[in-house]
């Protein structure tokens, strides 16, 4: 499985012939100095954890240009359909949707979900964590924006994810200590990729607190360079 991080929570994920984007916050992302067209090249699916503008990002434009299938909460899909994106695969907590070469299971995330892109705050359903299960590769858990919660143990019991995309920036998500506790107590990740840090001044700027709190598990952390593909 090959991943590319574009800063914040935006990832490109490749396995087999599958190309997908998670939370494609690209155009307005201060950590990414490119456009959205490069990361979206060949992408067939766009996966969204929730409706905040720093996660929906360029999803509508990608959906309209590539006809990429948008996978997310019902309200998020409806909102993007109203913007002209036409290929939707909606779901909600507890459900799993078939995406051909992989499935996406929707699990809890402790956060909120709305957009103000149109000038008015629009409620966009509940936030989600996304468990991506390829037919022939590792299970990946994109936690989305979340605090720690005890039912993460059920996520591990149900899906046994091998790769975790873990928010660590504090204030709006888990900080480093909570995120480390979540990884150590509830999961047995083979690879841990921290995200949602350093993008804006309000967030923790480095993964240092997270790495220190992980202890020995820090050896499983992958700290990617923005825009550089890496294998997990």
Which tens digit of pLDDT belongs to each residue from 37-80?
999 999 999 999 999 999 999 999 999 999 999 999 999 999 99
DSSP for residue 224: P
For residue 151, give the nearest of 211, 72, 93 by alpha carbon. 93
pLDDT of residue 118 exceeding 90, the answer is no
CATH T-level assignment (fold) for domain 2-231: Metallo-beta-lactamase; Chain A (3.60.15)
Q: Given this model, what pLDDT does residue 124 score? A: 98
Distance of alpha carbon 79 from alpha carbon 149, whole angstroms: 28
Average pLDDT over residues 180-184: 98
Answer yes or no: are the C-beta atoms of 75 and 124 closer than 8 Å.
yes
pLDDT of residue 117 exceeding 90, the answer is no
25, 73, 128, 144, 221 from 52: Cα distances, Å? 10, 12, 12, 11, 27
Q: Given this model, what pLDDT does residue 10 score? A: 98
Q: Tell me the domain boundaries of the chain.
A: 2-231
Residue 119: pLDDT band (50, 70, 90) is confident
Distance of alpha carbon 169 from alpha carbon 167, whole angstroms: 6
Report if pTM > 0.85: yes
Which tens digit of pLDDT belongs to each residue from 138-178?
999 999 999 999 999 999 999 999 999 999 999 999 999 99
Q: Given this model, what pLDDT does residue 174 score? A: 98
% of the chain beyond a pLDDT of 90: 99
The DSSP element (H or E) to which 13 belongs, if any, is strand 11-15
């Amino acid at each position: 499985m090959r991943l590319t991080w574009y800063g914040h929570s935006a990832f490109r994920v490749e396995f087999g012939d599958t190309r997908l984007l998670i939370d494609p916050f690209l155009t307005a992302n201060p950590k990414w100095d490119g456009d959205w067209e490069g990361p979206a090249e060949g992408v067939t699916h766009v996966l969204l954890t929730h409706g905040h503008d720093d996660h929906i990002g360029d999803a509508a434009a990608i959906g309209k240009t590539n006809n990429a299938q948008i996978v997310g909460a019902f309200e998020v899909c409806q909102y993007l359909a109203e913007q002209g994106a036409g290929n939707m695969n909606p779901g909600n907590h507890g459900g799993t949707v078939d995406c051909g070469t992989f499935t996406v299971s929707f699990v809890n995330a402790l956060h909120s979900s709305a957009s103000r892109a149109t000038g008015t705050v629009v409620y966009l359903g509940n936030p989600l964590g996304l468990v991506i299960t390829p037919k022939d590769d590792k299970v990946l858990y994109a936690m989305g924006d979340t605090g720690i919660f005890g039912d993460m143990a059920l996520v591990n019991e149900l899906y046994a994810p091998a790769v975790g995309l873990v928010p660590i920036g504090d204030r709006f998500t888990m900080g480093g200590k909570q995120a480390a506790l979540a990884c150590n107590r509830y999961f047995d990740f083979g690879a841990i990729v921290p995200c949602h840090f350093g993008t804006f001044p309000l967030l923790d700027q480095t993964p240092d607190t997270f790495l220190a709190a992980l202890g020995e598990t820090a050896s499983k952390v992958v700290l990617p360079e923005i825009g550089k593909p890496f294998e997990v």
